[in-house]
A and B are shown apart, each in its own frame.
Chain A
Amino acid sequence: MAKPVRRRLRKLLPWGLGLFIAGVVLVLVIAYSGIFNIAASAGHPAWLEWLLMLGKERSVIVNSKPVDVPELNFVELVPLGAAHFQGGCATCHRMPGQVLNPVYDQMLPPPPDLKIHAPMWTLEQLFWIVRHGIQFTGMPSWSGQDRDDEVWAVVAFLEALPSMNVADYLKYASGNSKNSIAAKNYPASQLAGEGRPKVNHSACDRCHDTGNAPPTSPYVPRLGGQDAAYSKRALHEYHSDLRQSGFMEPIAVELDDEHINSLADYYASLKGSVGKTAESVSSKGTDPGRQLAEHGDLLRKIPACLSCHGSSKRPDYPRLTGQSEQYIRQQLQVFQRGIRAKTPHGAIMTTIAKRLNEQQIEAVAAFFANRLPAESTDHNATEGLR
């Protein structure tokens, strides 16, 4: 019984091989001849559309399996995600309440309306798509290398998007920026000369603090009162792809040296005490965060944070007082993952951050977040005494 089957198979083998080679040759001939029309205007035939959709869906589902949703406060991330969406994604995916620009509607496949499409995916799958992008569709991968933590802000926004009305969206997307997207009564002459008012993605106020408002999300750093030298360094590092951020790099890359200098000076001139006047402060000497900040941890070879981050220190070292717990914690974790080690300054902090344990990160983040700016000047005064 087995023998005839095997003999028959052996007879079929040359035929199978021949057919396979013929198939490959046929595909090459078709590709070389140019008869397959790749024009976006031609659209996809139904069978190809079906095949591509199947491949895409399965790939997203399978590849996103290892993704875990981190314990983050998604509500706090929404404003950051919304502002990035407005600056980076809305061009193709349309702003809520507006029709899609016909230019982008002519892409193949057309960028989906995420109000409808985002709920079709799980959070893990949304993360994977935003983080890695999708081939052949025009969807780019996240521009901040390895900054997975940032991607979750966009995921948080996409989760909130379907239930968001236009006014909410505009509020989140424009943040502290006064230049309202929905401005009415705009004089025609101005409209003709300057164009429709819109929130430019280089408007820092969309996320960061202003003279009288805090940052829109605790995951956004406070810039007011920061030394100009530090802000300059940060923007130059973003500008030259040395410091990774999918939020800041696309903005910084368009700033020239003059912009960077004037922005840094502007933020240095702002008072850093916004929204932080009389919150409860753990002033006990036993607070582990204070202990670490003022004295370090000899056993783990961690120097005191304030030996570099006190306010009489180098102006190109950042001041931490008044930054939120969330931001400090997140940045320390980014340092621990080695993502900021490319810059000379980042390399210093990477070494130190890797010596911190989780509890120390929590404690020190809480200490700096609850520290009053006045206290930091006091500390200076005593530090200045010989």
Chain B
Amino acid sequence: MKYMRQMLCIMTLLIIAGCDSRQSAFTGLGPVSSRITLLIWIMFIGAALITLLICVLMMISISGPAGWRQKLTSKKSIVLGGIVFPTVTLTVLLIYGFLILKAGETLTQAENPVRISVVGEQWWWRVIYRHDDGRTTESANELRIPTGRPIEIELTTADVIHSFWIPAYAGKIDMIPGRTNVLHFIADKPGIVSGQCAEYCGGAHALMSFYTVAMTPSDYEAWLAKERANARPALDSQGEQVFLSSGCGGCHTVRGTQANGKIGPDLTHVGSRQSLGAGILPNTTDSFTKWITQHKSIKPENLMPPFNIFSESELQSLSAYLNSLE
């Protein structure tokens, strides 16, 4: 009995966890996702009503009065209920769905959107902010957006098919090799939600997520100016020295230092992000240590070589340095 109750508690917790609004299509934090949420409810309630109707009809056909049963089997009711009704319902739903798909685009055509490119990589996100002057700022594994302004995201991939999905803001769109897909949405109010790769893309697919931070327009502008700037010179040069001399710069860029690798995520302001390893670890000094020493077990198959060469003090100063890159 006690066991049963425990199981019930666990099951309930699991189900409640599914309701976490951070990564839920029911959250509807913007006009695009609100419409999708509405569509979901329409379909859900409609389907429930139709199911109920079918149940009633079945009851009648089994044990209802003879006259009603007669009517049910007539040619007219079969044509109406079996052909006309589903055709009309599905057509209306399809057209409504298409309209919702277009909705984002028409929203953003109204005014100058915020332009961001996201490149899917095994197994992380390369995020490129496109400034009005034509220049770009590269970041990774986190999306920052202003509220109230339309957002236009160009989606491409560096390797296989990924799918970009922030359920709270918009539907998912695939990132397909050789193609550029565009996603539009608007965030209504500030907040942090999470997104996820929604198309199986190899080993660490399930661990390829990211946070999206919606900020007020003034906060966003301030953040973008900071993100655009080079990394501040390190206070403690020992960590920077370990970073540069150990070859980290072969894959990672820290703008303002010699590290200019383009293979892995840009780390110029990694310390200011919500998470490490593409939404896997909280962003703390300890997490950096954990990532450097155990990333092969934290995120199996990720493409970074194992770096188990650091002494305790090197590891500490390296982690502190990375965490200080804000």
A296 to B263: give the CA distance in the assembly, Å: 9
Q: Does residue A113 face the partner (Cβ distance < 8 Å to B)? A: no
- Chain B residues within 8 Å of A350, by CB: 305
Quick check: A296 and B246 within 8 Å, CB to CB?
no
Quick check: A303 and B258 within 8 Å, CB to CB?
no
A352 to B263: give the CA distance in the assembly, Å: 12
Quick check: B258 and A301 within 8 Å, CB to CB?
no
Quick check: A298 and B306 within 8 Å, CB to CB?
no
Interface residues as binary, A299-317 with B (CB distance below 8 Å gives 1, 0 otherwise): 0011110011000111011
Between B249, B250, B257, B307, the greatest number of chain A beta carbons within 10 A of the residue's beta carbon is seen for B250
Closest chain-B Cβ to A237's Cβ sits at a distance in Å of 12
- Chain A residues within 8 Å of B308, by CB: 344, 347
| Interface members, chain B 220-268 (any A CB < 8 Å) | 245-247, 249-251, 257-258, 261-263
- Chain A residues within 8 Å of B263, by CB: 296, 298, 301-303
- Chain B residues within 8 Å of A106, by CB: none
Quick check: A314 and B245 within 8 Å, CB to CB?
yes
Count the B residues whose beta carbon is within 8 Å of the partner chain — how many? 17
Closest chain-A Cβ to B318's Cβ sits at a distance in Å of 12
A349 to B308: give the CA distance in the assembly, Å: 12
Interface residues as binary, A371-386 with B (CB distance below 8 Å gives 1, 0 otherwise): 0000000000001001
- Chain B residues within 8 Å of A301, by CB: 251, 263, 303
Count the A residues whose beta carbon is within 8 Å of the partner chain — how many? 23
| Interface members, chain B 113-167 (any A CB < 8 Å) | none
Q: Does residue A345 face the partner (Cβ distance < 8 Å to B)? A: yes
Quick check: A316 and B309 within 8 Å, CB to CB?
yes
Whether A348 contacts B307 in the complex (CB less than 8 A), given A298-B263, A386-B257, A386-B258, comes out as yes
Interface residues as binary, A153-192 with B (CB distance below 8 Å gives 1, 0 otherwise): 0000000000000000000000000000000000000000
A383 to B260: give the CA distance in the assembly, Å: 12
Closest chain-A Cβ to B44's Cβ sits at a distance in Å of 44
Quick check: A296 and B261 within 8 Å, CB to CB?
yes
- Chain B residues within 8 Å of A308, by CB: 246-247, 250
Closest chain-B Cβ to A303's Cβ sits at a distance in Å of 3
Query: Which residue of A is nearest B249, CB measured?
Result: A307
Closest chain-A Cβ to B1's Cβ sits at a distance in Å of 52
A147 to B258: give the CA distance in the assembly, Å: 37
Q: Does residue A200 face the partner (Cβ distance < 8 Å to B)? A: no
Quick check: B258 and A313 within 8 Å, CB to CB?
no
Q: B246 contacts which of A298, A304, A314, A386 (Cβ < 8 Å)? A: A314
Query: Which residue of B is nearest A383, CB measured?
Result: B258
Interface residues as binary, B293-326 with A (CB distance below 8 Å gives 1, 0 otherwise): 0000000000101111100000000000000000
Quick check: B305 and A298 within 8 Å, CB to CB?
no
Whether A307 contacts B261 in the complex (CB less than 8 A), given A296-B250, A317-B247, comes out as yes
A85 to B261: give the CA distance in the assembly, Å: 46
Whether A348 contacts B305 in the complex (CB less than 8 A), given A296-B261, A303-B261, comes out as yes
- Chain A residues within 8 Å of B257, by CB: 386
Quick check: A352 and B305 within 8 Å, CB to CB?
yes
A316 to B242: give the CA distance in the assembly, Å: 12
Interface residues as binary, A344-376 with B (CB distance below 8 Å gives 1, 0 otherwise): 110111111000000000000000000000000
List 15 extra interface pairs beyond A313-B246, A344-B309, CB under 8 A: A296-B263, A298-B263, A303-B250, A303-B261, A307-B247, A307-B249, A313-B245, A313-B247, A314-B245, A314-B247, A316-B309, A348-B305, A351-B305, A386-B257, A386-B258
Give 21 A-B contacts (CB < 8 Å), ordered by A residue: A298-B262, A301-B303, A302-B263, A303-B250, A303-B261, A307-B249, A307-B261, A308-B250, A314-B246, A316-B309, A317-B246, A317-B247, A344-B309, A345-B309, A347-B305, A347-B306, A347-B308, A348-B307, A351-B305, A351-B306, A352-B305
| Contacts from B to A (Cβ < 8 Å) | 245-247, 249-251, 257-258, 261-263, 303, 305-309
